[in-house]
Each structure stands twice: as C-alpha cells, then as structure tokens.
Structure 1
Amino acid sequence: MSDITLTAVDEDTLETILAKDVIFTGTLAFKEPLMIKGRVSGSVRTESDLHVDDGAVVEADIQARNVTVRGLVKGNIIASGRVELFASCTVNGDVRAAELTMEPGCHFNGACTMTGIKDAR
C-alpha cells in the first residue's frame, strides 16, 4: 500500500486568514491563497488555493485551483487541480477534480468525478 502525501499548510505564508470569529455570508472571491478558520456560507470562487481549517464550517459551493479540507464543507467542490481531504474533515457534497487524496478517517458523503486538469471547470 502506498503512503498518502498531503500538503502541509504554513499559515505564515498566507496573506489572508479568516479567523475563527469571522462569519461571512455571500460570494467570497479572492486571488491569493486563503485559509478559512471561521464560518462561510454562500459561494467561494478563486483561481488560487483554498484551505478549510479544522473547526471551520463552509456551507458553500467551492470553485478553486486546489482545496485542502480539515473542517466541514457542505456543498460541492470543483477544483482544476487537487482536492485533499484530511482525517478531521467532513464533506457533504460532490467533488469534481483532477486529483483527489483522502486521508483514512475523513468523511466524504457525495459523488466524485475525476477530470483532466482542463476539464475540471
């Protein structure tokens, strides 16, 4: 059995972090990598990377380049690159991505469609 390699996120390299006490409702659009630690509902759109931290709650459809999930996502995820689901996460929604990595212990309730990088959108 092969080892699973997941991306470690260094918060010091991120320009934007939505803190645990942030509650955002609406369309969240951004250009640089972002980490969510609080609550977001609505939709999330970027051509960059999204990190959903442990304890975060995202009730939104997500469109991004790469998505790492350690918290809760209720919504569909579309990634032109990679989606990584960590053991601490729950995803209730469909995933459409070029690559999907799931750590043992993660909870994924939905369908998965594997695409080529250009086909993910």
Structure 2
Amino acid sequence: MFTQEKRSKFSSEGSKDQNKIAQGTKIIGNLEAKGCFRIDGIVEGNVKTPGKVVIGKDGFIKGYLECENADIEGKFIGKLLIKNTLSLRSTALIEGEAIVAKLTVEPGATFNATCSMKGGVKTINNERGGQEQTQKGKEKSA
C-alpha cells in the first residue's frame, strides 16, 4: 500500500510522461493529459495538455489543440491555442486559426491560418523622446 508521501511523488512524476499516438492509429474523440503528446497517427477531436505537443511528419490533427508549446512537422486543421511557442517545421501544413505567444516557421512550411500573437508585458523605447512605453497584453495580428 502506498503511503501519502509515495503517492504524491508518484503523481508528480506522472506529469512528465509522454503520451504517444503511433503511426497507423486513428482516434476520434477528445484527449486530455498532464503529460506531453507525440502524435504520429491521426486524431480527430480536441487535444489539451499543459505540456508540449509534437506532431510528427505522418501525424495529423483535425480539431482543437491547446498546449504550452507545439512542434509541428505533419498536418493540422482547426484551431491552435499555444501559450508559448509554435514551431512549424519545413514539412508542416497548417490550416485554420492560431493564437500563439511566439511563432517560428521554417522555409517550406505551409501556414494558411489567421494568426493572433498575444504576448506579455514588453517595454518599447521611444526614439523621439527617449521615453519608455509599456504594452500590456496587446494583440498583434499576422
């Protein structure tokens, strides 16, 4: 039987685990986990995690993706909500809508999406008067 101390240690370690959807696997439905995802198969539905999601070259998601960071080599159609960095590799194909904090795109990637970039607080130096202005939670569109 687990003691309270061992249970909490076991639970916190579980959030570091990576979930994998292998090539040849198709899931229709919603996925939610505390750990990261690597998707090399097909997911038709919503994927939500506080961790990172990697969509491999043969991976495909059609639906909604919410995560901290995403690294996409495969195909995504739907809505992306990435709290930090969305990285699109040269083989990526994205269609739909993206809300991100940071975006990196390799040459060759296809990005057919409306994109809103939401950042934190940034300090902008005003060259004319030398004054600093602060933008808080401003939205940028690409």
TM > 0.5 between the two? yes
Q: Does residue 1:75 correspond to 2:78, yes or no?
A: yes
Aligned partner of 1:18 in structure 2 is 21
> What is the CA–CA distance in structure 1 between the aligned matches of 2:54 and 2:120, rounded to whole Å?
19
Scaled by the length of structure 1, the TM-score of the pair is 0.83
Q: Give per-residue Cα distances to partners, 1:25-83, cap 9 Å, x unaligned.
A: 11110111110000000111111110000011111111110011100001111111100
> What is the CA–CA distance in structure 2 between the aligned matches of 1:105 and 1:99, rounded to whole Å?
19
Aligned partner of 2:56 in structure 1 is 53
Q: Which amino acid in 1 is paired with 2:84?
A: G
Q: Give the total of aligned pairs.
A: 108
* Large movers: runs of 4+ above 3 Å: 117-120
Q: Percent identity?
A: 24
RMSD over equivalenced CA pairs, Å: 1.9
Scaled by the length of structure 2, the TM-score of the pair is 0.71
Tell me the CA shift for residue 15 of structure 1.
2.8
The answer on whether the counterparts of 1:80 and 1:117 sit within 8 Å (CA) in structure 2 is: no
Aligned counterpart for 1:64 among listed residues 64, 67, 73:
67
The answer on whether the counterparts of 1:25 and 1:42 sit within 8 Å (CA) in structure 2 is: yes
Tell me the CA shift for residue 14 of structure 1.
6.0
Aligned partner of 2:38 in structure 1 is 35
> What is the CA–CA distance in structure 1 between the aligned matches of 2:58 and 2:105, rounded to whole Å?
18
Gapped runs of 5+ residues in structure 1? 1-12
Q: Does residue 1:111 correspond to 2:114, yes or no?
A: yes
